[in-house]
Amino acid sequence: MSERLGLDQLEMRGNFIQRHIGPDREQAQAMLAALGLERLEDLIDKVVPADILNREPLKLTETISERAVIKYLRRMRERNQVLTSMIGMGYYDTILPSVIKRNVLENPGWYTAYTPYQAEVSQGRLEALLNFQQMIIDLTGMELANASLLDEATAVAEAMTMSRRLAKSSSNLVVVDRDCHPQTIAVVQTRASSLGYRVLVTDPFDALEQHEFFALILQYPGCSGEIHDLTAPIAIAHQKQALATVAADLLSLVLLKPPAALDADIAVGSAQRFGVPMGYGGPHAAYFATRDEFKRSVPGRIIGVSRDVHGQMALRMALQTREQHIRRDKATSNICTSQVLLAVIAGFYAVYHGAAGLRLIAGRVHRYAQILAAGIVESGHQVVSLCYFDTIVVRMPNRAKRIAAQAEEAGINLRVIDADHVGISLDETTTRDHLRALWQVFVSPVADLPDINGLDGRLSECIPEKLLRGDAILRHPVFSLYHSETEMMRYMRRLARRDIALDRSMIPLGSCTMKLNAATEMQAISFYEFNAMHPFVPLYQAQGYQQLFAELEDMLCDLTGFQAFSFQPNAGSQGEYTGLLVIRKFHDINGQSQRTVCLIPASAHGTNPASAALAGLQVVVVACDDHGNVSVDDLRAKLAEHGDRVAALMITYPSTHGVYEQAFRQICELVHQAGGQVYMDGANFNALVGLCRPGAIGADVMHLNLHKTFCIPHGGGGPGVGPIGVREHLAPFLPDHPVVEGVNPLKGEHGTVGTVSAAPWGSASILTISWAYIAMMGAAGLKRATLTALLNANYVARRLAPHYPILYTDANGWVAHECIIDCHEFKKTANVSVEDIAKRLIDYGFHAPTVAFPVADTLMIEPTESENQAEIDRFCDAMIAIRHEIREIEAGRAAIDNNLLHNAPHTHRLLLQQWNLPYSRQQALFPDSHQHDDKYWPPVGRIDNVYGDRHVFCSCPLDWTEADSGAV
């Protein structure tokens, strides 16, 4: 590492470690003393099982300073050569308005927020997501939209599985338009094959009647740019009792008749070109819209309107979507982390431009495409596209490659479709100069270039009248109020300040690792050479990215003990699914395809069984013992029972109970003896970094959540990255890609598991964040971070133990990096639920810990290494004060149905009414002195979830009365 980094400019070496880790030396000493320890290293002996410890030195010995990291990444970005992209295929250049870039993408108030489970402290991002849903509803014409999925290709795959659940057809065939994006077809094929569906890729206008099928998937406009009237194939799908999905380009829908008007059942697509940079593949938000009658089957989260206890309008996640994977192997989808930050940006893009602005942008793109085509025709070439929005295909017999090379010399990437055809896709950034440059490429050097203004006057509309849209879009006031930058800036700030994110206080969410997302780590995502790159450019243009992947892979292999990583999965859930496919493939080529049982401990996160079901595996639950560990006896019994049908064990380590099991190695050995493979859920890797290499102690595959352990911010519920690491025998099967070669360089004769995301390296642009974190911390810094995370968690456990029972500890009373406090007694003694405690914490200015996972009636607290003693004490003080408030109820001194917890959170509105609560304003609103300096005012009181689920309303209400009249 040191050579590669050229470490000559290390003027501030080591500083960052102290910036990242909260407690300074004195605080760490004090906290250690409270635990009866002397040195941080003592935690290793006390807490971590000796047989999992890594004794080999790591290669990551160097650290570089914040300044040096930026310099280094600048050099890396220079190796990315950004050309004008006209490749299309689902990725288009776009202009992210500066006001949104500065106030959202680069604002920790937005990017450090958590998924909006605690709706009262999330009203800002919930409103932004509701705007996104409204925009999708308007553009697609559908009745209902969700608040984002991971990418267009996986959204199509989700549409396919939803079609299987809802379609009456008993066929197992999926018909896919051959003019779909190739990455979409590949992802559908992967997903279909693990579920046992057949896929037919064909021309939907040719003999569709001959087939029985349950899902029809169409692209609108097609990948070639051609726009077809899809009414006829959709009608056939309906005759066949199948559901029809239209993957539609959002910008084209500004002009085109929406999918709903074609009678589509599901509309999906990417919101990338609404202001989100291409980023060499991601992250971007996909959208998913459907009919109201299907609302209970929709994958991902839906934001809906409800009301709070005061009758005030309030937003929250609707229906089952709050915790979809809670249904485990019966779940509709395994999606957990999605793409909230990117959906927020796309929604704001529509808010800022409004209907007229979008019409201008879409209209210009279309006009330029027509002018370009006319000029190419004038110069004697054949444009084969008949009806198009922004993409044309030019026929160049045997010359496609040569033309593309010439265009490249002129600074433009075209799509080479085959030897005879090139595709050209225009976008918001296209100018007249680009058109002239292209003509120069197509026109013979001596001929005159066409005259743009002359052509402009002679164009006739190529989209038939019946496919042009006639209805108004974006009529809701939010899309017309904020078109000046001043108003826009204030609107975004108004929303941000309604929320609690990490820029306000600690967010002690167990299993989610809400640690520092340092400003330096975030810088490279704003570098043009990282974010303006199309994912399908030739590799020689993307050498900076290739270097980033290689270096990050080396770093992660070093830390985990695995031999190879795939960055393709866009979240932990996708990593799980991919890892299980890799395991299935391994068994298949070893003649063991009967191995279809996946053992999963009862304590596992809901995504584990949901992913196993998606991978076509049968879930068998392994019990946990009284200490929360996997029951080795039950594991033996299940292995004996299922014998050579066992494919894998999925195990989370340390467990979701926040404890290092002693038997991890033994468990892995038992599974291996039975011929199974070990999948490790690495969401809790923050307790292991620098101490333990899972690949060396028994795990065969593991996903990491880079948005947990490796500092990619949560973004309010995404983006995430869920790369998987594998041991050598599994590396050949890691995903590849239909468009870009060399994604899995170890691919062998048996092929790979296929493609699991639209982009070859998933959400490539945010990998710079994790790279920067590891580069600045080095092995020593990372180990120190891990030990501090253990210190902080054990300190919390020690402080709270006299007040709340700690549910699980190891034999000596230690926890790992998080702890679970048991609150179930309070229901009996004081009629207080964990929910009440969570909401009361808001009055103290805190976001609640994880509620009711992995055990009902508990709170799981993970302070992470980034919080210092003062902040942790402030949180513990609040928890202890709340315990005291519960005691007041238990003792009968506070009313059982009218008390500080029951009525929490308390809002400013209470101050405007006659005060008739049986406690003081100060107790309610200023429970400790911290609120005097900096009071967080929740914008709404306790939200009524049941009301919202009975009166489902998931678009922007004009006012409260309209939301009410939308009741069903």
Ligand X SMILES: *Cc1c(COP(=O)(O)O)cnc(C)c1O
Sign of CA dihedral 139, 140, 143, 146: negative
- With CA atoms as reference, report the closest residue to 685 among 670, 699, 671, 668: 699
The answer to the question of residue 681 lying near ligand X (CB under 6 A) is yes
Task: Report d(CA 574, CA 150) in Å as an integer.
Answer: 9
Among 94, 652, 677, 899, binds ligand X (CB under 6 A): 652
- Closest separation between CB of residue 74 and ligand X, Å? 30
Subset of residues 6 to 45 that bind ligand X, contact rule: CB under 6 A: none
The answer to the question of residue 840 lying near ligand X (CB under 6 A) is no
The answer to the question of residue 103 lying near ligand X (CB under 6 A) is no
Task: Report d(CA 900, CA 936) in Å as an integer.
Answer: 17
- Closest separation between CB of residue 325 and ligand X, Å? 8
The answer to the question of residue 534 lying near ligand X (CB under 6 A) is no
Residue linked to tokens 């942008």: 361
The answer to the question of residue 259 lying near ligand X (CB under 6 A) is no
- With CA atoms as reference, report the closest residue to 471 among 232, 137, 227, 219: 137
The answer to the question of residue 324 lying near ligand X (CB under 6 A) is no
Q: For residues 617 and 598, is the Cβ–Cβ distance under 8 A?
A: yes
Q: DSSP labels for 459-510?
A: ----S-GGGB--S----STHHHH--SHHHHHHHHHHHHTTS--TTTS---BT
Task: Report d(CA 246, CA 648) in Å as an integer.
Answer: 36
- Closest separation between CB of residue 155 and ligand X, Å? 15
The answer to the question of residue 725 lying near ligand X (CB under 6 A) is no
The strand pair at 646-652 and 597-601 is best described as: parallel
Among 118, 148, 391, 573, binds ligand X (CB under 6 A): 573
| Strand locations in 107-251 (E) | 144-145, 173-177, 198-202, 215-220, 243-248
Q: Treating both helix axes as pointing N-terminal to C-terminal, what angle do 543-560 and 66-78 enclose, rounded to 10 degrees?
A: 130
Task: Report d(CA 707, CA 573) in Å as an integer.
Answer: 12
Which of these segments, 10-18, 24-32, 495-503, 569-577, binds ligand X (CB under 6 A)? Answer: 569-577
Subset of residues 509 to 528 that bind ligand X, contact rule: CB under 6 A: 511
- Closest separation between CB of residue 572 and ligand X, Å? 2
- Closest separation between CB of residue 573 and ligand X, Å? 3
Residue nearer to ligand X on the CB measure, 573 or 755 = 573
Subset of residues 849 to 878 that bind ligand X, contact rule: CB under 6 A: none
Q: Where are the alpha helices (DSSP H) in 716-850?
A: 767-800, 825-830, 834-843
Residue nearer to ligand X on the CB measure, 339 or 705 = 705
SS3 content of the chain, % helix, strand, coil (to 5): 45, 15, 45
The answer to the question of residue 694 lying near ligand X (CB under 6 A) is no
Residue nearer to ligand X on the CB measure, 80 or 570 = 570
The H or E element that residue 131 is part of is helix 123-140
Residue nearer to ligand X on the CB measure, 83 or 509 = 509
- Closest separation between CB of residue 652 and ligand X, Å? 5
Residue nearer to ligand X on the CB measure, 176 or 340 = 340
State the chain's maximal CA–CA distance in angstroms: 96
The answer to the question of residue 605 lying near ligand X (CB under 6 A) is yes
Task: Report d(CA 153, CA 269) in Å as an integer.
Answer: 8
- Closest separation between CB of residue 336 and ligand X, Å? 3
Residue nearer to ligand X on the CB measure, 227 or 706 = 706
The answer to the question of residue 158 lying near ligand X (CB under 6 A) is no
DSSP state of 842: H
Task: Report d(CA 855, CA 656) in Å as an integer.
Answer: 9
693: which 2 tokens? 């290499």
Task: Report d(CA 968, CA 952) in Å as an integer.
Answer: 7
- Closest separation between CB of residue 850 and ligand X, Å? 9
The answer to the question of residue 810 lying near ligand X (CB under 6 A) is no
Residue nearer to ligand X on the CB measure, 606 or 941 = 606
- Closest separation between CB of residue 705 and ligand X, Å? 5
Among 705, 864, 899, 903, binds ligand X (CB under 6 A): 705
- Closest separation between CB of residue 716 and ligand X, Å? 13
The answer to the question of residue 762 lying near ligand X (CB under 6 A) is no
Which of these segments, 49-57, 70-78, 571-579, 829-837, binds ligand X (CB under 6 A)? Answer: 571-579
Among 190, 656, 709, 757, binds ligand X (CB under 6 A): 656
Residue nearer to ligand X on the CB measure, 222 or 572 = 572
Subset of residues 269 to 298 that bind ligand X, contact rule: CB under 6 A: none
Residue 513's CB is within 10 A of a number of other CB atoms, namely: 26
Among 275, 299, 720, 781, binds ligand X (CB under 6 A): 720
- Closest separation between CB of residue 707 and ligand X, Å? 6
Among 571, 734, 807, 901, binds ligand X (CB under 6 A): 571
Residue type, position 593, single letter: S
Which letter, b or e, does each residue of 866-887 get, where b requires 16 or more Cβ atoms within 10 Å of its Cβ?
bbbbebbbbbbebbeebbebbe
Among 277, 375, 535, 722, binds ligand X (CB under 6 A): 722
The answer to the question of residue 65 lying near ligand X (CB under 6 A) is no
- Closest separation between CB of residue 833 and ligand X, Å? 23
Residue nearer to ligand X on the CB measure, 258 or 572 = 572
873: which 2 tokens? 């004490």
Q: Tell me the number of residues near ligand X by CB under 6 A.
A: 15
655: which 2 tokens? 């467990």
The answer to the question of residue 339 lying near ligand X (CB under 6 A) is no
Residue nearer to ligand X on the CB measure, 290 or 850 = 850
The answer to the question of residue 607 lying near ligand X (CB under 6 A) is yes
Residue nearer to ligand X on the CB measure, 144 or 331 = 331
CA distances for 385 relative to 308, 343, 676, 939, angstroms = 54, 32, 53, 53
The answer to the question of residue 572 lying near ligand X (CB under 6 A) is yes
The H or E element that residue 20 is part of is helix 15-20
**Binding residues vs ligand X (CB under 6 A):** 336-337, 511, 571-573, 605, 607, 652, 656, 681, 683, 705, 720, 722
